[in-house]
A and B are shown apart, each in its own frame.
Chain A
C-alpha cells in the first residue's frame, strides 16, 4: 500500500510541473502589470519601469521561470509581489478556512445526498422521487453566489440565526463551527445534488442485477438486500463522482468565500489574479494542483476500502 501511495505521489510531480509551467507563462502573457497596482494609476512609465526592474520582472521570462523552479524544489513559494510577504505564510493563514469549508461541504452533501439518492432509487417514479430529482436539478443549476445570497437572506437577514459575515476567529472552535454552517450548506447543496443523482442512478442499476433477484428469492430482508448487496456495489460510481466534484467544490468555494466574506484560497486567488501578483498566483496553483492530486489519491484508496476486489489488485 505504502509503495502504491509513494508511486502515486511521484506520478503527481509531472502533473504539478505541467500545471505550474502553464500558469507561469499564461499569467505573464495576459495584459496587466503588478507595478501599476503598487504605484497606482498616476504612476509614470519611468517609475513603473523602475519598479518592474526592482521586482525582477524585466528579466527574461525563462530566467524567472528557472528561479521559480529552484525555489519550488526547496519548498519555498517565494514572496508576494504586491505585499512582499512570504507566500508560504499567506497560504498557511487561509488554507485551514478553505479545507474546513470544503470538507464540511462534502460531508454535508454526502450525509444528506446519499440517503436521498437511495430513497429516490427505492421509491423510483413516486412523488418523492420526482421531488428529490427536481430538488437536485435545482441544486445543480444554482450558481454558488446566488444560492449563497438566498441562504443569507433567509437564515441571516430574516431569521437572524447566523451572521452575514462568516469570518471566524480560528482559535475559537465554537465560533468556527457556527460560522461554518451557512457556507458549508451552500457548498453542501451543490455536492448533495451530484450525490443524489449519481447514487440514484447507480443504485437503480445495481438493484436490477441478477444477484439482487437471487437475494430476494432467498428471502433476505429488504434492508440487508439494500445495504449489503445493493448500496455497497453501487458506491464505487458515487465515490468517483465525489472525488471528481471536490475539484468543482474548490471552484465554488471561491464564490462562497466572497459572498460569505470568508477568508480562503478562493478569495486569495481572485485578488492575486486581479492584482497580477504572479508569484502568489503560481504558489496558489501549486497548492490547488496538489490538493486535486491528493483528493484523487484518497478517492482511489477509498475504492479499495469499499471493494475488496480492487484492494487485491
Chain B
C-alpha cells in the first residue's frame, strides 16, 4: 500500500541521490562543453575540426609555440626546442631540444627520433592532412639525441609554422605510435600539460594533469572535455554549474544576455574567421568584370556587421584576414554604392537585372549572412536564387563548381601565403586535380603568390602579397565581407593564466597556469 510516508521516503532518497551523484565538484576539475557530437580523430596531424583542434595543444607540444593567448608570428617562443638556428639561405634549420622532457604514460624522454618520426608522419599523405605544408621538406635528420636538422628544397614563406604547436607541427611519441598502431588515433600520447586518460565516443575525453610537465605541474588536476552539440544545453549546463567553460554563440544579442548573468566572463577573441564572397568567373555573366564590380558595389559590409553585431564581427578590407603576416590594408575595396552598381549592370547589358544561382549551407553562421547579401543584391537588381543544402552537401557542391557565388569562412595558419594559395592560386581551382578552394577560378595573382613563396627579402615578400591582394580585389574575384570572432564563456573564477587575444585552435588554450581563483 502506498502511504504518505513511503512517498516522502522516495522523494527524500531522490534528493539525497541528486546531491550525491551530481558530477564534478572538485575545484580543480575543469569541465569544458565543446561543440560537435564527437571527435573526428585525436590524431593532431589528421583532424582539422574545431572540437579536435582545441584539445590538441593540451596534450601535445610543437618545437616552437605561439605565446599563449596570441597568434602573433613575432612572438613565437621555444616549446620543445630550446633554441634554433637557420642557415643564411634559409634552407637548413637546426633545432636543439630541451633535455628531460617526458612523454605521458611512461613512454620515455623526448629525443630527436620522436621529432624525425613526427615530422615525417606529418609530411606523409596517408598519415597527415597537413602533408602539403611539408612539400619543401627534403629531409629531417637526428644529428644527436637532442639535435634535429631539417633541410628544405626551397625557401618557404614561414617555415616555423611547420614546427609550431599546430596541426602537423605537434610532436608525437614514436614509441607509443608504433606500439599502439591504428589505436594511436584514439590514444594520443604527447608531452603537453595534460595527459590523455580516456575517450568515450559521443560523450567526452578525459585528461589528467601531467605532473612531470617541463613547465611545471598544472594547477588543474583533471579536464572533462564533453561533446555537447546542442547550444542551449551547453548554456543550461553552465547555468547549472555542470560546465565551467563552453563554446558560445557568435552573436551580439546572445552575448549581451550572457553578460547579464552573474559569475560569467564572455571572451570574444581571434583569430577571426574571414568571410569572403567568392565570385565564380567560370559561370556567365560573372566572367564580365562589370557584373562583378556591380556585385562589389551592391554589397554593404557595414550592413553585414550591423546584422551580426560589432561585438563579434568587424568589416574586412582584404581577402586575407587582418593580423596575418602579409595582410594588406591598401588593397582596392569597392564602396557600397547602389547607383554605381546599377550603372555597371546596365553597361553589361543587365539594365533589367539578372538572376544568379548559388548554394549555401544550412549552418547559420554562413546561411544568415548570405540571406543579408541576397537582400543587398536584390536592391541593386540582382536576384540571388539560393539553394539551402546540408553542410556536407554544400562542401561537395561548391567544389563541383555548382555555385556562382560562394560565401566561405575560414581561418588558416596566419601567413598570407596559405590563404592566397588555397583560395586564389590557379593550381587550387576547384574541380582540377590539385584543386583546393579557389572557387572564383582566379589566376590574376599567380605570379605574385608564387614569387612571394621563395622571396628571401621579407620586404619584397610583403610587397608581392600586397600586390596579389590588390589584383584579386580590383578584378573582384572575391569581395571581403567581415571577420567573425570566437566566443567562449567561462566561470568568473577561471583564470587562463594569460591574456586571451587570439587562438589558432578557435578555443582558449588550457595551460599549466590555468587555474580556479
Contact = CB atoms under 8 A, between A and B. Distances in A.
A50 B125 contact: yes
Contacts of A36: 392, 395-396, 399
Given A30-B393, A41-B395, A164 B237 contact: yes
Nearest to B390: A32
Contacts of A37: 40, 392
B15 A93 contact: no
Contacts of B202: 94, 263, 267-268, 271
A50 B240 CA distance: 47
A90 B201 contact: yes
Given A38-B40, A258-B230, A261-B230, A31 B392 contact: yes
Interface in B27-59: 37-38, 40-41, 46-49
A291 B20 CA distance: 35
Contacts of B433: 45-46, 49
Interface in A111-164: 145, 149, 152-153, 156-157, 160-164
B8 interface: no
Given A32-B396, A47-B129, A42 B422 contact: yes
B22 interface: yes
Which 4 pairs across A and B sit closest by C-beta, in order of nearness? A40-B48, A32-B392, A31-B393, A31-B396
Interface of B: 14-15, 17-18, 21-23, 37-38, 40-41, 46-49, 125-126, 129, 131-132, 182, 185-186, 200-204, 226, 228-230, 232-233, 236-237, 239-240, 242-243, 389-393, 395-397, 399-400, 410, 412, 422, 428, 430-437
B436 A44 contact: yes
A174 B19 CA distance: 12
Interface of A: 30-33, 36-47, 49-50, 54, 82-85, 90, 93-94, 145, 149, 152-153, 156-157, 160-165, 167, 172, 174-175, 178-179, 258-261, 263, 267-268, 270-271, 274-276
Given A45-B436, A163-B23, A33 B392 contact: yes
Contacts of A259: 230, 232-233
A37 B391 CA distance: 11
A78 to B, nearest CB: 15
Contacts of B431: 45
Contacts of A43: 129, 436
Contacts of A82: 40-41
Contacts of A32: 390, 392-393, 395-396
Given A37-B40, A47-B125, A259-B233, 6 more contacts: A39-B129, A42-B48, A47-B129, A83-B201, A163-B22, A275-B40
A38 B41 contact: yes
A163 B203 CA distance: 15
Contacts of A162: 18
A11 to B, nearest CB: 33
B18 A40 contact: no
B236 A152 contact: yes
Nearest to B237: A164
B47 A40 contact: yes
A178 B14 contact: yes
Contacts of A45: 399, 430-436
Contact of A164 (B18, B47, B240, B430): B240
Nearest to A149: B232
Contact of B126 (A54, A93, A161): A54
Contacts of B14: 161, 178
Contact of B233 (A93, A172, A261): A261
Contacts of B201: 83, 85, 90, 93-94, 263
B17 A174 contact: yes
Most buried by A among B21, B185, B186, B428: B21
Nearest to A260: B233
Nearest to A255: B230
20 contacts: A31-B393, A31-B396, A36-B396, A40-B49, A44-B434, A45-B433, A50-B125, A83-B40, A83-B41, A85-B186, A156-B240, A157-B240, A164-B233, A167-B204, A172-B21, A175-B21, A179-B21, A258-B229, A271-B37, A271-B38
A35 to B, nearest CB: 10
A259 B46 CA distance: 29
Contacts of A46: 433-434
Contacts of A83: 38, 40-41, 186, 201
A184 to B, nearest CB: 14
A40 B393 contact: no
A84 B182 contact: yes
A84 to B, nearest CB: 6
Given A42-B436, A160-B240, A163-B242, A261 B392 contact: no
Given A31-B397, A36-B395, A275-B40, A42 B233 contact: no
Nearest to A48: B399
